[in-house]
């Protein structure tokens, strides 16, 4: 694993230490999780912004709705919604 030094505020270090203790985890694990959560948060923010922009374009939004409707027709295509599957991969037909 590559190692590097990053300067952080003492308050941030204290927060990392508190989180590590409460999670019975290392500082590195807490920091890794924090970065991963931040990346996911930013991704969702960007997706939301993109959808908001798409909704501002009526033609593009209508195109998306039409595409969704076309794909909705494939949901449960040929499957019986009443059947269930066992853990060993066998199907149980409804009675």
18/25 Cα distance (integer angstroms):
10
The answer on pLDDT for 10 being more than 80 is: yes
Coil vs helix vs strand at 32? helix
72/66 Cα distance (integer angstroms):
10
Instruction: Tell me the pLDDT tens digit for each residue of 36-83.
Output: 999 999 999 999 999 999 999 999 999 999 999 999 878 877 778 888
pLDDT of residue 74: 83
Domain chopping of the chain, boundaries: 28-62
Task: Please list, residue by residue across 47-56, b when 16 or more beta carbons sit within 10 angstroms of its beta carbon and e when fewer do.
Answer: eeeeeeeeee
C-alpha 52: how far from chain center: 19
């Amino acid at each position: 694993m590559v190692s590097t030094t990053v300067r952080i505020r003492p308050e941030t270090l204290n927060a990392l230490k508190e989180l590590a203790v409460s999670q019975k985890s290392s500082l590195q694990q807490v920091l890794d999780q924090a970065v991963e959560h931040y990346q996911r948060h930013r991704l969702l923010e960007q997706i939301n912004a993109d959808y908001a922009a798409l909704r501002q374009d009526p033609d593009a939004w209508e195109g998306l709705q039409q595409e969704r409707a076309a794909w909705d027709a494939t949901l449960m295509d040929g499957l019986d919604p009443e059947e269930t599957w066992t853990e060993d991969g066998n199907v149980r037909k409804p009675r």
